[in-house]
């Protein structure tokens, strides 16, 4: 809910966004608290910021990476930034290198690699689709599929069908491709 000025986020405890953030940051920075509590507060802090701001600045991403040993929340934060296309192209390689140094950040590196693949217009859509599927980035595959013509959809369905994605993911992507092939509904 908002208070008319847009300062209240739709948060379970009713606090405004700034109050929520002010409460969360000290929790994740307090090394005396249990790691799981700190990790949860860290995740909640950064995902609230992303949801509110639509992304993070370079300096904020540097702050996130200070905790790259928390692979799951960091991976999801990077994923959230990737799906919003809010990582500067110049930061992708730097982030991939930084995340590769800490164990368990495979998911985040794959999402960044998929984002870089999306940006690479020197490759045809078929190559880009195959690459993002192998990186397990269904969000990136949907972006590629949404740009296809109806004539290209059947070929894309073949690429998806032969990918190593789980059956459920393949089926969802195939259905999405079929919707693209049918065009906008009237």
Q: Which of 142, 128, 127 is nearest to 175 (CA)?
A: 142
Contact 99, 67 (CB under 8 A): no
Domains in the chain: boundaries: 1-119, 124-186
pLDDT attached to residue 149: 94
Per-residue pLDDT of the chain in tens (186 residues, 90 and over written 9): 333 333 333 445 546 888 999 999 999 999 999 999 999 999 999 999 999 999 999 999 999 999 988 999 999 999 999 999 999 999 999 999 999 988 899 999 999 999 999 999 999 999 999 999 999 999 999 999 999 999 999 999 999 999 999 999 999 999 999 999 887 654
pLDDT attached to residue 7: 35
CA distance 39 to 33: 10
pLDDT attached to residue 156: 97
pLDDT attached to residue 17: 86
pLDDT attached to residue 105: 92
Contact 183, 150 (CB under 8 A): yes
pLDDT attached to residue 184: 65
pLDDT attached to residue 27: 93
């Amino acid at each position: 809910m908002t208070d008319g000025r847009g300062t209240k986020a739709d948060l379970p405890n009713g606090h405004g966004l700034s109050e929520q953030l002010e409460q969360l940051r000290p929790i994740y920075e307090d090394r005396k608290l249990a790691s799981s509590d700190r990790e949860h507060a860290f995740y909640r802090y950064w995902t609230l910021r992303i949801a509110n701001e639509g992304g993070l600045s370079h300096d904020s991403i540097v702050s996130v990476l200070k905790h790259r040993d928390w692979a799951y929340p960091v991976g999801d934060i990077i994923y959230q930034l990737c799906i919003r296309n809010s990582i500067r192209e110049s930061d992708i390689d730097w982030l991939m290198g930084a995340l590769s140094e800490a164990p368990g950040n495979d998911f985040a590196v794959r999402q960044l690699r998929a984002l870089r693949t999306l940006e690479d217009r020197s490759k045809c859509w078929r190559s880009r689709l195959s690459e993002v599927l192998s990186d397990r980035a269904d969000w990136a595959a949907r972006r590629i599929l949404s740009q296809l013509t109806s004539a290209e959809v059947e070929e894309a369905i073949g690429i998806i069908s032969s990918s190593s994605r789980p059956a459920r993911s393949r089926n969802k992507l195939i259905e999405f491709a079929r919707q693209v092939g049918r065009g906008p509904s009237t």
